Amino acid sequence: MRHFVTLLVVLCASQLAHAQDAAEAAHREIWRRFIDSHGIMLDFTDLDGSVNFPTPEECRDGKPNALGWWTPIENGAMFNGLYMDAAVLRWQRTKDAADAAKARQLMEGLLKLSSISSVKGFVGRGLSTDGKAHYAMGSNDQTLPWLVGLWRYRQSGIATRDEVRQIDLHLTETVTEIARLDWKMPAEPPFNTRGTFNGFHFDEVARMLFSLKLIHTITGDQKWHTLYMAELQKRNPDNNRTKLEVCGAGMSFYYAKTHNWTSCTAVSALRVLWELEADDSIKQAYRKGLIASARLAAESLPLALQFDPHDTSVFKQDWRAAMLPLWTPQNTEQESVALAEKQLREFIKASPRRQKETAFIREPTAAAWIVTLCPDADVVQQHAAAIEQVISRYDYSRLYYSTFFWVEGAWWRLQQVK
């Protein structure tokens, strides 16, 4: 029996060391290929780091579509904001000036994305080759992580007094404008808005409550707290559940079988709400929601095992060849979405590797991070071995998409419960 226990300890230590090496490899690969010259994370690159950026003219014309979907600059605000968690946690562990500089670079990228448009409150997705041109529509999935990422940096211990001042100005202006637009995200003409924080689904509820709590914390203006408390008690007319009860139930999937990669944005907002909340009854509801979210996310961890590390399916970085033949001008969000959906089908035909990375890398790595956002150490520990297995599963130098970046945040958060 003693020999069996010894063997088990050795195997666990071996997996832990492998996961640590893998997390470090993921970090190196992110910074080798996926952070552009403005400090903004790209969606995909070739294995040598080359990128087919949309031109300024293509961005202005809405090519391949006005959302920028399926291009290398589709999710810069989202990915930077979410990856900031890992960057900050890494620096807090290492206290290395180089790690602080990386977090600062991500922060500067986030601020740039809210400084590129004359439309107040607009948060862009990414930048073209001129460092200015961008697509006309962001989204709720882009803006929420942008808010959380800047907050994480602000509170990290890295931010200078001047950086805190700049961040507060950007956060306050953005949330104030979103609130003025009835919680819709500002977009450029002819689209004007796209996406909302207003609704009763978990993603919407957590995003709005976080935004209100955030701005009250920054400004001290009582009106934001009053709005926050009122929103908590608003009831869904369909099921009579309050928004606080929605938070207590945690993450749920509704537009696909799983979508950890987008719902993790709302879970990250719920985690900050839990951290900031002083009222014990509200805080306990948030804790309950984070536990429920972790348990649901854990069901997606085995998806990593369906990815073949030796897979040789094709990925073609030339998104233009697959998508531009379908292009037509767009004047509404609906026209842009419809066009993008047609284009995706063609892109997948040309690059079947894309689907494997999104299904078997993007989902389980985002799920791993969601589990580690849970404040209950016992719940996280229950899934520690499976999370380490996810982190260790991939050869990051052979992945085309950056959507493995969650493993780094999962690794550092896992160390907090060891």
Over residues 306-343, the pLDDT tens digits come to 999 999 999 999 999 999 999 999 999 999 999 999 99
3-state class of 303 per DSSP?
Answer: helix
Q: Which two tokens stand for residue 128?
A: 């073209």
140-154 vs 161-180: helix crossing angle, rounded to 10: 150
> Please, which pLDDT band fits residue 5 given cuts at 50, 70 and 90?
very low
Cα angle, residue 368 at apex, residues 365 and 372 outer, rounded to 5°: 145
- 8 pLDDT higher than 70: no
> Please, which pLDDT band fits residue 16 given cuts at 50, 70 and 90?
confident
Question: In terms of pLDDT, which residue wins out, 15 or 299?
Answer: 299
Q: Which two tokens stand for residue 239?
A: 């099921």
Please tell me the distance from the alpha carbon of residue 268 to that of residue 265, in angstroms, as a whole number.
5
Cα angle, residue 402 at apex, residues 400 and 408 outer, rounded to 5°: 130
Mean pLDDT of 213-241: 98
| Range with the poorest average pLDDT among 2-16, 185-199, 347-361 | 2-16
Mean pLDDT of 300-305: 98
- 2 pLDDT higher than 80: no
> Please, which pLDDT band fits residue 13 given cuts at 50, 70 and 90?
low
What residues form DSSP beta bridges with 86? none
- 12 pLDDT higher than 70: no
Q: Please count the other Cβ atoms lying within 10 Å of the Cβ belonging to residue 154.
A: 20
- 6 pLDDT higher than 50: no
What residues form DSSP beta bridges with 193? 186
Contact (Cβ atoms closer than 8 angstroms) between residue 165 and residue 120: no
Mean per-residue pLDDT over the chain, rounded: 96
- 7 pLDDT higher than 70: no
What is the pLDDT at residue 418?
Answer: 74
Q: Please count the other Cβ atoms lying within 10 Å of the Cβ belonging to residue 268.
A: 27
What is the pLDDT at residue 1?
Answer: 52
What is the pLDDT at residue 250?
Answer: 98
Q: Please count the other Cβ atoms lying within 10 Å of the Cβ belonging to residue 93.
A: 12
- 168 pLDDT higher than 60: yes
Using CA atoms, how far residue 242 sits from 245, 286, 344, 364, 373, in Å, is 5, 13, 37, 30, 23
DSSP code string of 198-249: -SSSHHHHHHHHHHHHHHHHHH--HHHHHHHHHHHT-B-TTT--BHHHHHHH
| Range with the poorest average pLDDT among 14-23, 272-281, 333-342 | 14-23
Of all residues in the chain, what percent carry a pLDDT higher than 90? Answer: 95
Using CA atoms, how far residue 404 sits from 3, 87, 228, 341, in Å, is 37, 14, 34, 23
Mean pLDDT of 87-105: 98
Please tell me the distance from the alpha carbon of residue 34 to that of residue 41, in angstroms, as a whole number.
5
Secondary structure letter of residue 185 according to DSSP: E
Q: Which two tokens stand for residue 53?
A: 């950026």
Please report, for the chain, how many H helices and E strands are present, in that order: 18, 2
Per the rule left: phi > 0, alpha: psi between -120 and 50, beta: everything else, 49 is left
Cα angle, residue 104 at apex, residues 98 and 110 outer, rounded to 5°: 145
Contact (Cβ atoms closer than 8 angstroms) between residue 134 and residue 59: yes
- 10 pLDDT higher than 70: no
What is the pLDDT at residue 218?
Answer: 98
- The pLDDT tens digits of the residues spanning 124-151 come to 999 999 999 999 999 999 999 999 999 9
Q: Which two tokens stand for residue 34?
A: 């996926």
